Amino acid sequence: MIFSIIIFIITLLVLVLIHEFGHFLMAKKFGIKVEEFGFGIPPRLWGKKIGETIYSINWLPFGGFVKLLGEDEVDTITIDKEGKNRDFRAKPVSKRILVVVAGVAMNLVLAWALFYTVIISQNFRIIYPTISQGVYIFRTENNLPAQQAGVKEGEKLVAIDNEQISDIEQARKFIKAKDETKTTLTLADSDGKNQRKVELIPKKQDNGDVLIGVVFSPIPFRTYSTLPEKIFSGVTYSWDLTKITFIGLGQLFNQLFVGDFGQASKSVSGPVGLAVATGDILSAGWQAVLPYLWFVGIISLTLSIFNILPIPALDGGRLLFLVIEAITHKKVKEDVEKTVHQIGFIILIGLALLITYSDIRKLFS
């Protein structure tokens, strides 16, 4: 367990550093002074000044930050000792937007790279998460009824002889009960659409088992077959996951709206929950390398999605004010923006603590 926690901390550190490094690089490119590059949220645990920048480690491990000269100030724009204008506020709005979105872009590119690695390593095949579980065809066996009838890997098993199927054990019982009589499978794509029917006759084995020749999975897999699909697989996979994320967010907000806080707490995880998931994945030893790379890709993509949302104190919240400025050609009052971000920061810290408390309760429930 200790090893898993160490691996997770290193993973979190890498993801945060990559995100903040994007802000750092773009700020340096545009001549903006970087005052601090921090991992975690203050108060500060340790810090060292190298050149003009303080590199720090902070007490609350819920992210990181890059502090730019003038970014959260409300007074006059700062001129440094050399007379250079290196204040974030003094740069054109287009450059400030690029600085803000650079961190999100770095997490997104990392997610693409990890997904491509996993997809290519698995012969352009990868797990395809869904909001609700079902029964999916993971693999078809040679010279057995399912393959001969045209059942395809990756399809969803919807029904057997018009009886709806909800889990793998139910599917197995239905097939065994059919013995060697004609059976109709209702199949669909991984999203449950484009249904079709396939007829086959299960084959009885010497040991009495009745098989159709498939390996079931509770979650679907996506296979990229054509050259364009393979070339853009990492990108399209990220887009598919983004859509699923927003569907999940919609369900979460609905649960909160109707007061189903227990169910809502089950669908979210913070650092503690992710550390537990890390331990579960790494328990498989070296076979866990690809699943863990996939898991890190999911976290990196999630960071990019949530950071771009227009939430105060996050990149998306800062981006919203910059977009307003770009459209109206007027800056939002600095004291107003600072107050909004401070309130958002306090709310985010509160949510982070609540999620952490929920994760700890799950460990003992």
DSSP conformation class of 208: S
Give the integer Cα–Cα distance in Å for 154 and 340: 47
Catalytic residue among 20, 153, 155, 337: 20
The beta-strand segments (E) located in the chain are: 34-50, 53-68, 125-127, 136-140, 156-160, 163-164, 183-188, 196-200, 203-204, 210-211, 214-217, 221-223
For residue 53, list its beta bridge partners.
50
Q: How far is CA 5 from the centre of its chain?
A: 19
Tell me if the bond preceding 43 is cis, omega within 30° of 0. yes
Exposed, middle or buried by CB within 10 Å (0-12, 13-18, 19+), for 123? exposed
Report which of 108, 167, 131, 128 is spatially closest to residue 308, judged by C-alpha positions.
108
- Specify whether 52 is catalytic: no
Distance, CA of 241 to CA of 116 (rounded, Å): 14
Question: If you ran DSSP here, which 8-state letter would residue 154 be given?
Answer: T
In terms of phi and psi (left: phi > 0; alpha: psi -120 to 50; beta: otherwise), the region of 51 is left
Contact 246, 262 (CB under 8 A): no
In the block, tokens 């669909």 appear at: 188
Three-state secondary structure along 310-337?
A: CCCCCHHHHHHHHHHHHHHCCCCCHHHH
Query: Catalytic residue numbers?
Result: 20
